[in-house]
Amino acid sequence: INMGEDTSILTKETESWNGSHLISVTQVAPCGLTLLHEVACSMRDLVRSTGGDDRLKHRILATVFYEASTRTSCSFQAAMKRLGGEVIHVDAGKSGNSSAGKKGETLTDTINCLECYADVTVLRHPVVGSVKEAASKAVKPVINAGDGIGEHPTQALLDLFTIWDELGVDRCKNETITIVLLGDLKHGRTVHSLAKLLARSGMKNVVLKMCSPASLTMPDYVKEYLQKYENIVIVETFDLKEAIDGSDVLYVTRVQKERFESEEAYNAVKGAYIVDKELMETAPGGMVVMHPLPRVGEISEEIDSDPRAAYFRQMENGMFVRMAILALVLGKP
């Protein structure tokens, strides 16, 4: 099994993906991102022409979620089924239907048991590093669907696909692209993974404008990681209007209520930034608006009809990228 922290092991060679875990974006080499983009584009063509195929027939995906999920869980299940595979779902959270955690079974034992039935496991767990630990004992591919406030690699990969798709791959690789990361940058695993991925993406120059309330700024360990890369320029600001000036992408995140110690702390920052019609009137005409969703008021529904609003296209891209990942790790791209 391929495993590694910050070693570029997932490359343009399809064999490097076959049987591999996907724990962190730091595993994917720039040429591997190009391969994933190509396979995801072919999956989009496939879905739009015939709905899917049977390349993963008789293969089984186990989706194991110790934290709530709608989009990630459903898009992985849809991805597997569109390629002819089947799914077993385990709702392993406190109010879920699984007995394993309630009986005191270790996470690694649960995953080792489930892979007796399945060919690949998608795991979400609230503890940072838990998915990596489970994968270290697993004999079949494990895909990280989010480990607490750590990483969410498949979200970052679908986000990068969306940026390349909306702006054009050639432009992204040859011109300076300015991306605003907005909202809860402290707890948001999506922005942690995306920022790292942008640094490793092979894009020529990326200006990352980090815009958040003072109490929710990007963690130092992420910024230190980014500072190792010459293609990344970091700009920190608290002023949204200033941030969007001249920007190509506005990546909005919600303030994550479930990560706060108290209701008071959450209420103090929850409405800090609102993307509405008024703001969009001052924004660049080609600025793409993205959001990992769910949104809780930080993007007004009145801009859903704005052609720059890409968040539902982004969600659909998630299925295509996850189809590509499943096909690659199961050796059927």
* From 26, 63, 72, 110, the catalytic residue: 72
Catalytic-residue membership of 254: no
Cα–Cα distance for residue pair 176/171, rounded to 1 Å: 8
Cα–Cα distance for residue pair 150/127, rounded to 1 Å: 8
* From 48, 58, 94, 103, the catalytic residue: 103
* Residue 219 DSSP one-character state: P
Catalytic-residue membership of 154: no
- Taking CA atoms, 323 is separated from 9, 24, 94, 101, 123, in Å, by 20, 18, 29, 29, 16
53 CB-contact burial (10 Å; exposed 0-12 / middle 13-18 / buried 19+)? middle
* From 21, 37, 82, 124, the catalytic residue: 124
> 223 is written with which tokens?
């910024």
Who contacts 203 (Cβ-Cβ below 8 Å, separation ≥6)? 172, 173, 177, 231
* From 152, 189, 200, 254, the catalytic residue: 152
Catalytic-residue membership of 152: yes
Catalytic-residue membership of 72: yes
DSSP calls for 113-165: HHTTT-SEEEEEESSTTHHHHHHHH-SS-EEEEEETTS--HHHHHHHHHHHHH
* From 71, 295, 308, 313, the catalytic residue: 71
Q: Is residue 213 a contact partner of residue 283, using CB atoms and an 8 Å limit?
A: no
Catalytic-residue membership of 71: yes
Beta bridge partners of 181: 210, 251
Q: Supply the residues annotated as catalytic.
A: 71-72, 103, 124, 152
